[in-house]
């Protein structure tokens, strides 16, 4: 039997869309995430769409980002933004709350949290 991907475990396309929607809703409304919100344009739709396409492939589903935009080059694309531990931690906390609020299974959520933290930590370009 083939192992299930995180993509399928969180509900496939609909689950990833719900996660991205909730992530940006929280970022836009929770004062604790103001620093990362300030790094985004006023209209979050393009950011949401890019995260959706990226997460689709990153979680084991269709590699939409690569198909439509090209290689993610995550660190390079994030270099224009000052990302330190505070911004990393805000991003991870926002994603954790989004996963929790859409009902992603706790075991899956904890595994994804580790992967999200590692990826967010790789984006850091500031010493603190």
Residue 1, pLDDT score: 52
Residue 128, pLDDT score: 82
pLDDT in tens, the chain (128 residues): 557 999 999 999 999 999 999 999 999 999 999 999 999 999 999 999 999 999 999 999 999 999 999 999 999 999 999 999 999 999 999 999 999 999 999 999 999 999 999 999 999 999 88
Whether 65 maps to a domain, the answer reads yes
Residue 119, pLDDT score: 96
CATH number at residue 51: 1.10.490.10
Residue 3, pLDDT score: 73
Whether 47 maps to a domain, the answer reads yes
Whether 75 maps to a domain, the answer reads yes
CB 1 within 8 A of CB 40: no
H or E element at residue 107: helix 106-123
Q: What's the number of domains the chain is made of?
A: 1
Report the C-alpha gap between 25 and 30 in whole angstroms: 8
Domain membership of residue 18 as a residue range: 7-123
Whether 1 maps to a domain, the answer reads no
Residue 76 structure tokens: 């390079």
């Amino acid at each position: 039997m083939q192992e299930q991907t995180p993509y399928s475990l969180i509900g496939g396309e609909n689950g990833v869309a719900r996660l991205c929607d909730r992530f940006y809703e929280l970022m836009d409304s929770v004062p604790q995430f103001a620093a990362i919100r300030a790094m985004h344009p006023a209209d979050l739709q393009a950011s949401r769409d890019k995260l959706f396409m990226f997460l689709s492939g990153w979680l084991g589903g269709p590699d939409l980002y690569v198909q439509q935009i090209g290689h993610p080059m995550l660190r390079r694309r994030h270099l224009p933004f000052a990302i330190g531990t505070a911004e990393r931690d805000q991003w991870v906390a926002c994603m954790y709350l989004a996963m929790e609020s859409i009902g992603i299974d706790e075991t899956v959520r904890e595994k994804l949290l580790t992967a999200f933290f590692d990826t967010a930590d790789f984006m850091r370009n500031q010493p603190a």
